[in-house]
């Protein structure tokens, strides 16, 4: 009978977690509180700092990995399929594989490892040492200063970095292909630029913005679950990474259906 109880807890845990996370995110991102605008100069400073940490500081490692994708995926994919498919079909496959899947997931995993864990440690440490409680007693709106800017910053950084990663992976692969094979492959760059449709680009941006908002919300949510023991901090960090990675792949699968 124990397995029935475990199955029931698992079945109920999934929707309850999603419900709690959704309410937490909506509350954190709500621009109004008590009938007045919540965001202020401190919020924008936190947002800028989050963009710098999440976006600019991640450029070196993301650039290296994007170049690797260009050499390991873009280049051999074109060489392997040029005798089997038309150039238009090859370009469509490149966009599907490199842009919509690899660049998005690669960027999300990098930000998950770098940023989500840092958010849990930072906010969880403040919660553990009762710094957030002290600020709230002084009238400081902690959701406005510490939660919303982080969630929005990670979402915007994921969107911008995914564009950069996709462009670098495609361009580096085509340039290397033109260098080692034939300069005529440079025409692929113009064809790729023309192949993007406005609706597909909007879908790509929305998907990456959702990825960033999702992982940042999960990180903030688990950071605020830390209560009294220092051992809760690594536990919540681990849970945040596992849940965020799982939900990213679930979200990616749902988006792939569209």
Cα separation, 227 vs 152, whole angstroms: 25
Q: Pick the more confident residue, 253 or 207.
A: 207
Q: Any idea where the domains of the chain sit in the sequence?
A: 39-256
Q: Pick the more confident residue, 127 or 218.
A: 218
Question: In percent, how much of the chain has pLDDT > 90?
Answer: 22
pLDDT in tens, 86-131: 888 888 888 888 888 889 999 999 999 888 888 998 888 888 888 7
DSSP 86: -
pLDDT in tens, 25-53: 888 887 655 545 556 667 778 888 888 88
Question: In percent, how much of the chain has pLDDT > 70?
Answer: 89
pLDDT in tens, 157-183: 999 999 999 999 999 888 888 888 778
């Amino acid at each position: 009978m124990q397995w029935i109880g475990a199955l029931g807890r698992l079945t109920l845990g999934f929707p309850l977690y999603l419900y709690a996370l959704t309410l937490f995110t909506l509350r954190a991102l709500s621009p109004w509180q008590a009938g007045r605008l919540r965001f202020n100069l401190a919020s924008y400073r936190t947002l800028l700092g989050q963009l710098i940490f999440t976006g600019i500081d991640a450029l070196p490692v993301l650039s290296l990995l994007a170049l690797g994708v260009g050499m390991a995926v873009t280049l051999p994919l074109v060489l392997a399929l040029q005798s089997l498919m038309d150039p238009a079909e090859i370009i469509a496959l490149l966009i599907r594989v490199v842009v919509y899947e690899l660049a998005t997931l690669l960027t999300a995993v990098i930000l998950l490892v770098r940023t989500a864990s840092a958010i849990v440690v930072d906010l969880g440490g403040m919660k553990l040492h009762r710094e957030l409680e002290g600020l709230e007693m002084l009238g400081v709106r902690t959701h406005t200063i510490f939660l919303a800017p982080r969630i929005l910053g990670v979402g915007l950084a994921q969107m911008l970095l995914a564009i950069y990663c996709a462009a670098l992976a495609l361009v580096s692969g085509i340039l290397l292909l033109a260098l080692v094979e034939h300069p005529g492959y440079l025409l692929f760059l113009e064809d790729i630029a023309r192949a993007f449709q406005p609706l597909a680009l909007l879908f790509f941006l929305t998907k990456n913005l959702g990825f960033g908002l999702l992982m940042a919300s999960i990180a903030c949510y688990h950071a605020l679950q830390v209560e009294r023991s220092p051992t809760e901090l690594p536990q919540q960090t681990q849970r945040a990474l596992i849940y965020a990675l799982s939900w990213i792949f679930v979200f990616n699968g749902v988006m792939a259906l569209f």
